[in-house]
Structure 1
Amino acid sequence: MKKSVLTLCMLLGMIIFAKAQKAPPTASEMATKSIEAMDKKLKLNSTQKNIIYNYTLDLCKEQVALSKKQQTGMYNEDDISKFYRMQNETTKNIRNILKGEQQTQYDQYIEEMLRGGDKKKKKGKHAKDEEEVVTGIDGLKLPPPANP
């Protein structure tokens, strides 16, 4: 009797622990979150939102598929290259949908996401200690080597 109760408790504990693990977001959740963030920055109209959502959803589906392949170890460099090509194509297609100032704001949005997202700046005495962020091609250049 004690063994069966203990076994039942262990089984319930494992089930609860498994459900407590957060599942990775779906492609549609990622696309929706991305569109909401873009809309805040770019003030998209409904047509733009729908078209960009479709482009973003396709890219997110590809990202989820690549992530699953990476977890199983069944991916190769061609899969990663294909994803980057699709990412570049999606960015180009989105830029074509945007008008005037939205394109400039989109470029800034992309740079911000590449830097790590929309992080709030520190306030107070530590604000001066923040490192200067270099954007564009200058951010990719290596610093000169230090002579010993």
Structure 2
Amino acid sequence: MKKYFLVLALFFGITTYTNAQQKVPTATELTAKSIDAMDKRLKLNPTQKNIIYNYTLDMYKEQLAISKKQQNGTFTENDVARSYKLQNENTEKIRSILKGEQQTEYDKFVEEQLRGGKKKKKGKQAKEEEEEVVTGISGLILPAKTPN
């Protein structure tokens, strides 16, 4: 009886563990989601969409490779620098393809993405509270903790 209980508990544990693991999206899935969001916001023409898709797909492939290195424990400081460099290069490539108003909208889009997407407040609080937006390097600095 104890053996059956242990086998059942082991089976249940393994099943729970495998279901709890999140599926990592592919580079193609990430790219499609990103392009859809950009297209809605920037009104891309088909040529722009294709070129940006290729740039973004290449970036996500590299980002996922770096992420796998991090999971395997072979991640280095050079990988961090390479990751930031890829993002910056991709942003500049995309900006070079966009025209006029699209560039300013893209800058706003990127800034929102860095903040974690659009945040909407509902009701009375939305009118009373405005979220302070800090841009540039000062937005990355954590506030000093005050001792209790």
TM range (shorter): 0.7 to 0.9
Match of 1:68 in 2: 68
TM-score, normalization by structure 2: 0.80
Match of 1:100 in 2: 100
TM alignment of 1:1-148, pairs within 5 A: 2=1, 5-17=4-16, 18-125=18-125, 127-136=127-136, 139=139
Unaligned runs of 5+ in 2: 144-148
Per-residue Cα deviation, 1:94-128 (whole angstroms, up to 9, x for no partner): 11111111111101111111122122233313542
Residue 72 of structure 1 and its aligned partner are, at CA, apart by 2.2
Q: CA deviation at 1:52?
A: 0.8
User: How far did 1:134 drift?
Assistant: 3.1
Q: Separation in 1 of the partners of 2:26 and 2:50?
A: 18
Q: 1:141 to 1:25 in 2, by over 3 A?
A: closer
Following the alignment from structure 2 to structure 1, what is the Cα–Cα distance between the partners of residues 41 and 88? 20
Task: Give TM-score scaled by structure 1 length.
Answer: 0.80
**Structure 2 vs 1, CA of residues 125 and 141 (structure 1 numbering), >3 Å: closer, same or farther?**
closer
Structure 2 CA distance, aligned partners of 1:142 and 1:73? 27
Structure 1 unmatched ranges of 5 or more: 144-148
State the AA in 2 paired with 1:98.
Answer: L
Percent of aligned positions with the same letter in both sequences? 58
Q: Which amino acid aligns with 1:134?
A: V
Aligned mates of 2:36, 2:102 — CA distance in 1: 15
